[in-house]
Amino acid sequence: MTLLSVFVGAALGAMLRYVIIMIWPVQSSYFTAILIINSVGALGMGIVFASGQLSALNGFWSVGLLGGFTTFSTMMVQSAQLPFNKQLRYLMIQLIGGMLCFYMGVIIVNIFGTMA
């Protein structure tokens, strides 16, 4: 059952990523669909992590949906396509932005979790 939930989640996440990449109108040096996808995925992982449901929902949400949605490999390809002097800046934006989004998800759960 766990393998099935990972399979379904990963398929949905990858399809959602594909749709977003196809409709994203702007392809600038830094503000790309992959940045948005990875940031939203990090936010989602922060929410799942802070809710204490990481192990219970790991198959579908964490490994499946969010794992299929976010993409490390495309981020690396986009980085390699930039001029060398912009590669490190792009990767730092991706990594620091991802960390900030993850912690934003944790903060959201902590704020709304205490209000309930």
Annotated binding site for Na(+): 67, 70
Contacts of residue 50, Cβ cutoff 8 Å, sequence gap at least 6: 105, 106, 108, 109, 110, 113
Annotated binding site: 67, 70
Name the burial class of residue 26, with classes exposed (0-12), middle (13-18) and buried (19+) by CB atoms within 10 angstroms of its CB.
exposed
Q: Hey, what are 104's tokens?
A: 């934003």
